[in-house]
Amino acid sequence: MRNRWVIPDIHGYLNTLKSLIENRISLTKEDTLYFLGDYIDRGPNSKGVIDYIMSLQDQDYDIHCLRGNHEDYCVKAWHADQDRMLFKSNIEKEWRKNGAAATLDSFGVKRPRDISKRYIDWMNDTKFYMELDKCILVHAGLNFRINNPFEDFSSMMWVRDFKVDKNKVAGKKIIHGHVPVELSMIHLFSQSEAYDFLSLDNGIYYKNRDGFGNLLAYNIDTNEIIIQHNVDSYE
């Protein structure tokens, strides 16, 4: 059976991601896997997460990657840092407040400019959104305050609150991550037709908070949610 899986914010937790893919959903090359972005920052192995996804792509798994706000931070900080000798750019300072140190450590570098361009190119190749038959996949959400929400790429990575206008998305459900949601609420959103969105981010980095600390995989066609608790050792 061909499955279509969606995995949200990973944030550098490689072992948890591998356990979810290899042990919990048992991904095959007949399946399709969509990532909602935020591969990096906070967790112990951001580089390893990207390497692992690259390896799946190289093995011809059907993988589709969206861009999150943390990749946006990284790419912009990398470009801003190219011509600087000592002083950090404003975007780098902002990124460092939001988990950059863990990412830089995983690459074995001190400055954004020292991250290999190969990884920056990979981040740049990610999509802002994907429209499928049943739903629209996006990292954060859409800006429904404008006539065409598909023109606002920044909101796709950064918006934190939005009200769906079904007329602007052909009645399709918005599936996104970005803001951590308690697990029981995610189950509610997934099972009820009353909701026109589904937030899948369960705050993988909240390891010791009840109802959080998991990485999820959502089956678009069956509504099944597979739960993998954070198994990485990192504080």
For the segment 77-105, the average pLDDT, to the nearest whole number, is 89
Is residue 98 in a domain? no
Is residue 23 in a domain? yes
Does 178 have pLDDT greater than 90?
yes
Strand order in the sheet with 62-65: 62-65, 32-35, 4-7, 214-219, 225-229
Does 19 have pLDDT greater than 70?
yes
pLDDT over 70 percentage in the chain? 98
The domain that holds 186 is classified in CATH as 3.60.21.10
Strands of 88-196, DSSP E: 129-131, 135-138, 173-176
Is residue 215 in a domain? yes
- Band (23; pLDDT cuts 50, 70, 90): very high
For residue 17, the enclosing domain spans: 4-67+128-229
Is residue 11 in a domain? yes
Is residue 217 in a domain? yes
- Band (85; pLDDT cuts 50, 70, 90): low
For the segment 168-180, the average pLDDT, to the nearest whole number, is 97
Is residue 180 in a domain? yes
* Residues recorded for the chain: 235
- Band (194; pLDDT cuts 50, 70, 90): confident
Give me the number of domains the chain comprises.
Answer: 1
Does 104 have pLDDT greater than 70?
yes
The pTM of the whole model exceeds 0.75:
yes
- Band (89; pLDDT cuts 50, 70, 90): confident
Is residue 73 in a domain? no
Average pLDDT, the chain: 95
Q: Which two tokens stand for residue 164?
A: 């769906």
pLDDT in the model for residue 131: 98
pLDDT, tens digit (0-9, with 9 covering 90-100), for 114-159: 999 999 999 999 999 999 999 999 999 999 999 999 999 999 999 9
Residues 140 and 155 sit within 8 Å (Cβ to Cβ): yes
Is residue 161 in a domain? yes
First to last CA, the chain: 39
Q: Which two tokens stand for residue 46?
A: 């951001």
pLDDT, tens digit (0-9, with 9 covering 90-100), for 45-60: 999 999 999 999 999 9
Residues 128 and 72 sit within 8 Å (Cβ to Cβ): no
pLDDT over 90 percentage in the chain? 92
CB burial of residue 218 (10 Å; 0-12, 13-18, 19+): buried
pLDDT in the model for residue 193: 83
